[in-house]
Structure 1
Amino acid sequence: MAQPLDDAALDTIFRTARTYNGYTDAPVTQADIRDIYGLLKMGPTSANNQAARFVWLTTPEARERLAALSSSTNADKIRKAPAAVIIGMDLAFNEQLPWLFPHAPTAKDWFPTEESRYTTAFRNSSLQGAYLLIAARALGFDTGPMSGFDNAKVDEAFFADQPNVKSNFISTLGHGDPSTIFDRLPRPEFEQFNRVL
């Protein structure tokens, strides 16, 4: 049975965690990336479809390619971050279900239309992107998730060899510089956006 995390852990993951617009010079290593992925892949997805595909950008050249396809504000953040990641979605994720969901041999056929595959891939890659943010925070990193880029051009630049993979959103990654965050924005009270029936 799961045990509640202590307040320090909850602060790290949620309550005091922030979206960073800039980072220190501390690097993000390949070992760090593997550790983040090792956690995020454990988060639940529909029929364990693991629809997300990740491109981790750790070199200035790779980040520049992404920055050039992003809005001017986001481009500057990407260039200055020690790492960035493209969270993509595989629209042919169901081809992997025979080994990812082996106890249902027909699971591959549960998604017969392009629309059903898109909806499922988008939903689950978004979940996995959120797991990435939480995993990174849990391991002592900070993130800056964002839209504000040309999806079609990013797909062409980074997924040309995988035509079934499309970009969902992107994030910077590193050790945040506290001087780059805004004041905490409003968060609604429970009664404003919730109902219990």
Structure 2
Amino acid sequence: MTDTITLEKLDERGRNLVFTGARTSNTFAPTPVSDEELRDIWELTRWTPTMANTQPLRVVFVRTPEGKERLLRGMAEGNVAKTESAPVTAIVAYDKSWHEQIPTVFPIRPEMRDYFEADEDARHGAGSFSAGLQAGAFILAIRAAGLAAGPMGGYDKETIDKEFFSDSNWTTLMVVNIGHPGENPWFDRLPRVDAETAVAWA
């Protein structure tokens, strides 16, 4: 008989930090975010489960004045001020050539690289699914690192891709401000969909 593995449960403090008490920040303090903190975010994110361990997510941490100027060219008007105030803004990207890494990250099935090379629809479907999983985990990793995340959908993807990814196969998936909350950082807490509406049992 195989021994049962008992997993440890996240305590209330941890749940509050990452889930129930965490908020999307709309303003940011000028407190710097260090390289070590940003590496910590990636170290947590890279353990996200993905299809066949393929890990297609890529990140550009933008924090120099020159980088921010380029990024702001693609941000919607309502997101400019908050992006300017954030000490770091992450361009969360998806590597459209993720399958090239299969022999390294999934060595038990290296031939999968050739399959996805030949089928663009399958490649994009599998890659975008896994990148989406990692993008959600990236936000949780920011919170777990003791920082506030401000994910945004208001941007021009083509402009940002042209500015940052013209020489690569990366493409923008999401833009996230990162830092410590500033003055009046939160909107009022909005309702969440309850279990009666969203959960079914079979």
TM over 0.5: yes
RMSD: 1.2
Is 1:170 the counterpart of 2:168 in the alignment?
A: no
Question: Larger Cα Rg: Structure 1 or Structure 2?
Answer: 2
Q: Does 1:131 align with 2:144?
A: no
How far off its partner does 1:176 sit?
Answer: 1.4
Question: How far apart are the structure 2 equivalents of 1:21 and 1:60?
Answer: 20
Distance 1:195 1:109, change over 3 A: farther
Per the TM alignment, residue 159 of structure 1 is displaced from its structure 2 partner at its CA by 0.6
What is the match of residue 80 of structure 1? 85
Tell me the distance in 2 between the aligned counterparts of 1:189 and 1:19. Answer: 20
What are the Cα deviations for residues 49-69 of structure 1, in whole angstroms up to 9, with x where unaligned? 110111101212212211121
The alignment partner of 1:179 has SS state of: coil
**Which residue matches 1:194?**
199
Residue in 1 aligned with 2:95? 90
Contact 1:81 1:173 in 2 (8 A): yes
Deviation >4 Å, runs of 4+: none
- Number of residues of Structure 1 aligned to a counterpart in Structure 2: 196
Gaps of 5+ in 2: 1-5
Which residue of the partner structure matches residue 153 of structure 1?
159
> What is the 5 A alignment of 1:22-37?
22-37=27-42
- The answer to whether residue 66 in structure 2 is matched with residue 57 in structure 1 is no
Q: Distance in 2 between matches of 1:179 and 1:97?
A: 45
Identity value in percent: 34
* TM-score normalized with structure 2 length: 0.93
Structure 1: segments with no counterpart, 5+ residues: none
* Cα shift at 1:152: 1.0
Contact 1:28 1:58 in 2 (8 A): no
CA deviation string 1:103-131 (max 9, x = no partner): 11212134232221112222211211111
